[in-house]
Amino acid sequence: MGRKLLSKWLASVAIACAATSLTGSVHAKDLTFGYLPNSMEYPYDVATVTGFQDEAKKAGVKTIVLDPRSSVEKQGNQLDDLLAQGVDAIGIMPQDSVVAEGWVDKIADRHIPIVAIAVPVGDPAKHPADYVYPKLTALVTTDDVEGGAVSGRLAAKMLPKDRVAKIAIVEGMPGFAVVPQREQGFEGALKKAGVKFEIVASQPSDWTPEKGESICQNVLTAHPDVDLFFSHADDMALGCAKAIKAAGSKAKLIATSGGSKLGNNAIGAGEFDGSVCARPELLGRLMFKALSEAVKNPNGPKAQYITYDMPTITKDTLKDCPPEW
């Protein structure tokens, strides 16, 4: 499997070519691409839809976007709906990485290109972070191990050097491969930096600010001397920041999968200390490009790993990550 790393510049060039790639024997006006995000209640997912539909509009490709609303059963049924409607290619943000294996097998057996976005297909406990399920056209994703590592390197600069630092984790939703991947990168970076630390609490969330606030309130009650919170996404960090302020705590707060408008504003206002630039709209654009290339060339590359660069976000570097969600 060849790993494909797209910098911001290379990604922009690739996207510029996507609208002109559907030529020759394939006519864009005759094509329909389907996309199943995880849930349109999340701004991140909405941004992937925006990028996908913007590129499709430029290329003259019709789109069908269905909202599973975080339901594995509904996502499976909607996948069958897309197949029944005869779509030419499918993008999916799997709600369950293991269940999605069967879905991909069914689609690939019909010789329909399928790209997973943001969430890998396959048991994350059995595969490395950059694993791409062989029957996928591509996995278009943030490198979540690296995203966690970027957060870890930033946290290492803020943690005490003369004692064991106490860290609390606000995890993403259980079942998502990104949860262990972001944690792996974060802890690995701290160890590489020589930081001595103890994880005093680690609790799963539902990706919402409300749950982030609740988790951090509980942690601060049990561990008022915690040094740093690490949130697996901007959204929970927004809630956690409220809990830290209400408790009068001096704990630092670092997130990954950031770059949201609200998250960037909070960093600018000093409400939390930093995050890592995620670009969901770009992911949607790259997904469309991968699907369009696969439609144009059915014998082209398979199991591609497509990602992008992620700068650190602090109050001083906000300009490096214009928000996409």
Domain coordinates of the chain in residue numbers? 3-142+279-310, 145-277
β-strands 275-276, 312-313 pairing: antiparallel
Angle at 229 between CA 227 and CA 234, to 5 degrees: 150
Query: Hey, do 3-142+279-310 and 145-277 end up sharing a CATH topology, with the first three levels equal?
Result: yes
| Residue 9 clears pLDDT 60, i.e. is over it | no
pTM of the model: 0.83
Predicted confidence at residue 22, as pLDDT, reads 58
Say which range, 1-10, 38-47, 99-108, 116-125, has the weakest mean pLDDT: 1-10
| Residue 10 clears pLDDT 70, i.e. is over it | no
Q: How far is CA 110 from CA 34, 49, 105, 140, 228, in A?
A: 15, 24, 9, 21, 49
Predicted confidence at residue 266, as pLDDT, reads 97
Cα separation, 248 vs 150, whole angstroms: 27
Predicted confidence at residue 12, as pLDDT, reads 45
| Residue 182 clears pLDDT 80, i.e. is over it | yes
Cα separation, 177 vs 26, whole angstroms: 35
- What tokens does 230 get? 């690490």
Residue 28 pLDDT level (bands cut at 50, 70, 90): low
**Cβ contact 237:272 at 8 Å:** yes
* 145-277: CATH, from 3.30.70.870, 3.40.50.2300, 3.40.50.300, 3.40.50.720: 3.40.50.2300
Q: What is the CATH T-level fold of the domain 3-142+279-310, as seen in this structure?
A: Rossmann fold (3.40.50)
> Based on the number of CB atoms within 10 Å of its own CB, is 64 exposed (0-12), middle (13-18) or buried (19 or more)?
middle
Mean pLDDT of the chain: 91
Mean pLDDT over 71-79 rounds to: 97
Residue 24 pLDDT level (bands cut at 50, 70, 90): very low
Give the CB-side neighbour count of residue 185, counting CA atoms within 13 A: 27
| Residue 175 clears pLDDT 80, i.e. is over it | no
| Residue 184 clears pLDDT 90, i.e. is over it | yes
